[in-house]
């Protein structure tokens, strides 16, 4: 398995607009994309910091994964996403190593990436995401 870098950090927020203001006006970053991912019931906003992105996630449904997360834990870091080369192979390897996979096969995430989540129970408490940009080549 080859992970090349941290692709993004996912942060759950209550209000996307308010949060974007903080990242832009206080931190001086620029939001370059806002996208709704219906599948995950979120609206996302992206910022680039070097080759790593910050992905803000606002729930569009209180019953969705981010809605539930915010209700339980409030705003904060939600997941860590690694860029993987060969995501299918990586998932198979993780499965064989006994890691609990939330997604057994990759699905489409924001920005058209292939993504898959690993269960925090298997990763020492961190919700991890693997992603691969297959549009690049
Ligand atoms: Zn993510």
Total domain count, the chain: 1
Domain with 9 in it: what CATH number? 3.10.180.10
> What φ, ψ does residue 121 adopt, rounded to 5°?
-65, -25
Residue 135 reports pLDDT greater than 90: no
* 17 within a domain of the structure (yes/no): yes
* 23 within a domain of the structure (yes/no): yes
Which residue range is the domain that position 49 belongs to? 2-132
C-alpha 120 to ligand 1 mean position (Å): 14
Beta strands in the chain (DSSP E): 2-13, 31-37, 42-49, 52-59, 76-85, 107-108, 114-118, 128-132
Region 31-42: what's the mean pLDDT?
94
Dump pLDDT digits (tens) for 88-121: 999 999 999 999 999 999 999 888 899 999 999 9
* 137 within a domain of the structure (yes/no): no
Tokens of 29: 């970053």
C-alpha 116 to ligand 1 mean position (Å): 9
Nearest-angstrom CA–CA distance, 42 and 19:
14
* 62 within a domain of the structure (yes/no): yes
* 99 within a domain of the structure (yes/no): yes
Task: Report the pLDDT value the prediction gives residue 136, as an integer from 0 to 100.
Answer: 67
* 96 within a domain of the structure (yes/no): yes
C-alpha 106 to ligand 1 mean position (Å): 13
Task: Report the pLDDT value the prediction gives residue 34, as an integer from 0 to 100.
Answer: 97
Percentage of residues of the chain with pLDDT beyond 70: 99
* 108 within a domain of the structure (yes/no): yes
C-alpha 97 to ligand 1 mean position (Å): 23
C-alpha 17 to ligand 1 mean position (Å): 19
C-alpha 13 to ligand 1 mean position (Å): 13
Task: Report the pLDDT value the prediction gives residue 137, as an integer from 0 to 100.
Answer: 55
Region 44-48: what's the mean pLDDT?
97
* 20 within a domain of the structure (yes/no): yes
């Amino acid at each position: 398995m080859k992970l090349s870098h941290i692709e993004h950090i996912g942060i759950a927020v209550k209000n996307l607009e308010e949060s974007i203001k903080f990242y832009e006006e206080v931190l001086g970053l620029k939001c370059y994309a806002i996208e709704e991912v219906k599948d995950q019931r979120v609206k996302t906003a992206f910022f680039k910091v070097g080759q790593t992105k910050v992905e803000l996630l606002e729930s569009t449904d209180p019953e969705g994964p981010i809605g539930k997360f915010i209700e339980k834990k409030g705003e904060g870091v939600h997941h860590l996403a690694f860029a993987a080369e060969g995501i299918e192979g990586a998932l198979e390897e993780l499965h064989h190593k006994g890691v609990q996979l939330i997604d057994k096969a990759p699905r489409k995430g924001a920005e058209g990436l292939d993504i898959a989540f690993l269960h925090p129970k298997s990763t020492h408490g961190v919700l991890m995401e693997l992603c691969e940009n297959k549009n690049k080549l």
